[in-house]
Structure 1
Amino acid sequence: MRQQKSPPARASLRSHAAATVTSLTLRPLTSVIPANRPGILVARRIVATTLALTSPRLPGSRIVPVDRSTRRGPSVRGEWVRGPKARRNDAVILYIHGSGYAICSARTHRGITTRLSEATGLPVFACDYRLAPSHQFPAAADDVRAAYSWLLSEGHDPDRIVVAGDSAGGHLAVDLALQLLREGATPPAALVLLSPLVDPTLELARACAEVRPDPMAPMSVVERLLDLYFADADLAAPRLTFTFDDVSGFPPTLIQAGGREFLRGDAEALATALDVSGAHCELEVWPGQMHVFQALLRVVPEAVPALASASDFIVAELDAAERRSSFSVVESA
């Protein structure tokens, strides 16, 4: 197990400046974009351009597209990502992007995925699930499950897969692990969740926003995006509002959240629930940081050490899983 690192005691001056600029520019801009198809297309362009500037992929990284789309039902789409010096093939990271089930893609998150690959030495499969408003719940979750099943069919054992995700991708990652456990299937070796959505009713998020609004995401925008995906779904259902009473063996989990983001309460609630269930969980709350600050690599100094901490966790948990597997083989012999 890794020696757990702690976030800094206070935010850097550059991250404070980034938060101020974001609250004066991106926040008011996104608040006036309508939550319809033309508005979503505009939002996708804005976010893609912003992330290309603030979180570019590492030079020298290798990207291989994957498209096994079907006309109906779940599809496997995304891209294989390898950092410039990533050479390992003994395990894989399944990455699930966020942004309200409607905005981002594997491409927009190459800043994160190339750096996770480089730091761990592992290939990353970044999943492109179907997006709202064209596709509603449970389309995204079904595509994530299809991606996980595809990795198994490609020869990757569950204890050699780590699932990582940010924001809505964090919700999809937890859903995947719970569904596997409830079906009696083997879950991944570990989860890494960056600013995860946990409560789709947004009650926890509203409570955080009332105390201190997130510089990046107005609650009205978040609500409109989630409505596009969840539509008429029962938000109290176990698959959406998570419960852990009926499962055991939930994977070791690292949760990172920003100290001034709207999903801080979600992160803390999930960490508490996992602790109560007996699962191993590490929670890192980074002071003064915005939602998914790890994606702001050129403007927020804390993004780099946060991803380094996540990478250390991945390597440590894969090593621990390998030791457990070796011990089981010895015992059975």
Structure 2
Amino acid sequence: MTRTGSKATFVSAVVPETASRQARLAAHASVVGLRRINGLLPRNRVGIQAGRGLIAGVMAAFGPPLPGTRVDTVRSGRVRGEWVRAAGVEQGERAIYYIHGSGYVVCSARTHRGLASRLSKLTGLPVFLVDYRLAPEHRFPAAADDIAAGYRWLLDNGHRPEDLVIGGDSAGGHLAMDLLLQNQRAGTPQPAGVFMFSPLMDLTLTLAERRDRELPDPMAPALTGRRLIELYTEGQQPDSPRLRLDIPPGSALPPLLVQASAGEMLAGDAELLRDMAVAAGVRCDLELWPGRIHVFQALPLLVPEAVPALRRTREFISSALADAARAKVS
């Protein structure tokens, strides 16, 4: 671990040096199967629906909700989502606000119930999964607006910012960072902390494409990812400040935990986020786990490393909430 003032970068000692045999086999099988299928799907209604069904099937098979999980649907004005609570977890003041990923196009709150149920069980906290509008039906800034609306809804319904931790994966990481920056501009109180799994930062996928050429990503070609993102960003300039995010020096952002597979194509995005945060004086703990599966934390039946990675996330959440509570008192 290295720390300089308020800056921090951390690669946990619990991270194994090599991926498990099961994780290596999963990556190889995905390159042969899932990557090729995703690369062939057309970018039209039929292809998008097929992609949504394919990813939903993978998530349900390898990361289903835990037995006894309770799901309560939320429909309140513009806010759509669901509360997910593992067995024995009660609704309380503290909560996790989770933003799913998959290129602004593919996933939903339903696909991420399994991940939310595991986070809920490990932390003892309810998880609010926001169901933001997807492209191409709804283009930028629909998803970002829905994320902001969900956060305001939580605050308006009695959740103090210091009692909230935000999580996100893939494009959900970009949406989470956009929310933090918008909060800062508007003077909206920030959450206690933010954790991200395989966050997408470079929407042009230039970093990802470079890595994908060196080692084909198991989930999908970089070109397929770019085409998905373009369904959301069509008509926007790539250097728009809401798309090409930048953390200004001295930003008062909460601590960040970033986890990614070391061999996936978005590992470079994770490093980019860490570098931007540290340069701005924001604490950012980066963990690059061995293996190549994107958002492996959501697939514990496929990738054994998901379990210790989620335990590390639990430690971060507990620490962030405790630090925020102490700061509030002082």
TM-score (norm 1): 0.94
| Partner SS for 1:298 | coil
Within 2, Cα distance between the matches of 1:247 and 1:102?
33
Aligned 8 A contact 2:95 2:125 in 1: yes
Alignment of 1:10 onto 2:8: no
Aligned 8 A contact 1:5 1:309 in 2: no
Which aligned pairs between 1:196-235 and structure 2 lie closer than 5 A?
A: 196-235=199-238
Which aligned pairs between 1:32-181 and structure 2 lie closer than 5 A?
A: 32-69=40-77, 75-87=78-90, 89-181=92-184
| CA positional deviation for 1:317 | 0.4
| CA positional deviation for 1:208 | 1.4
Aligned 8 A contact 2:249 2:279 in 1: no
| Partner SS for 2:154 | helix
Q: Identify the match of residue 273 of structure 2 among 270, 274, 293.
A: 270
After TM superposition, the structure 1 stretch with the greater mean CA deviation from structure 2, 186-195 or 210-219, is 210-219
Aligned 8 A contact 1:8 1:287 in 2: yes
| CA positional deviation for 1:11 | 0.5
Within 1, Cα distance between the matches of 2:52 and 2:209?
24
| AA in 2 matched with 1:19 | A
Within 1, Cα distance between the matches of 2:212 and 2:169?
19
| CA positional deviation for 1:233 | 1.0
Within 1, Cα distance between the matches of 2:195 and 2:140?
23
Q: Identify the match of residue 243 of structure 1 among 243, 246, 252.
A: 246
| AA in 2 matched with 1:54 | F
What CA deviation, in whole Å up to 9, does each residue of 1:243-266 have, x standing for no partner?
112662111000001111111000
Q: Which residue of 1 aligns with 2:6?
A: none
| CA positional deviation for 1:237 | 1.6
| AA in 1 matched with 2:29 | V
| AA in 1 matched with 2:201 | V
| Partner SS for 2:73 | strand
TM-score (norm 2): 0.94
Aligned 8 A contact 2:11 2:286 in 1: no
After TM superposition, the structure 1 stretch with the greater mean CA deviation from structure 2, 160-169 or 87-96, is 87-96
Percent identical residues: 48
| CA positional deviation for 1:98 | 0.4
| CA positional deviation for 1:105 | 0.5
| CA positional deviation for 1:322 | 0.5
| CA positional deviation for 1:226 | 0.5
Within 1, Cα distance between the matches of 2:44 and 2:215?
28
Aligned 8 A contact 2:11 2:285 in 1: no
Which 5+ residue runs of structure 1 have no aligned equivalent?
70-74, 328-333
| Partner SS for 2:179 | helix
Matched residue count: 322
Within 2, Cα distance between the matches of 1:84 and 1:5?
31
Within 1, Cα distance between the matches of 2:292 and 2:318?
25
Alignment of 1:23 onto 2:66: no
| Partner SS for 2:312 | helix
| CA positional deviation for 1:39 | 1.1
Within 2, Cα distance between the matches of 1:163 and 1:23?
31
Q: Which residue of 2 aligns with 1:330?
A: none
| CA positional deviation for 1:41 | 0.9
Within 2, Cα distance between the matches of 1:291 and 1:244?
24
| AA in 1 matched with 2:123 | T
Within 1, Cα distance between the matches of 2:249 and 2:279?
13
Aligned 8 A contact 2:93 2:158 in 1: no
Aligned 8 A contact 2:36 2:220 in 1: no
Alpha-carbon spacing, 1:168–1:188, altered in 2? closer, same or farther (3 Å): same
| CA positional deviation for 1:90 | 2.8
Runs of 4+ in structure 1 deviating by more than 3 angstroms, as ranges, are 2-6
Q: Which residue of 2 aligns with 1:72?
A: none
Within 2, Cα distance between the matches of 1:146 and 1:203?
30
| CA positional deviation for 1:86 | 2.1
Give the RMSD, CA atoms, in angstroms: 1.6
Alpha-carbon spacing, 1:181–1:194, altered in 2? closer, same or farther (3 Å): same
Which 5+ residue runs of structure 2 have no aligned equivalent?
1-9
| Partner SS for 2:15 | coil
Which aligned pairs between 1:302-321 and structure 2 lie closer than 5 A?
A: 302-321=305-324
Within 2, Cα distance between the matches of 1:161 and 1:258?
26
Within 2, Cα distance between the matches of 1:113 and 1:5?
25
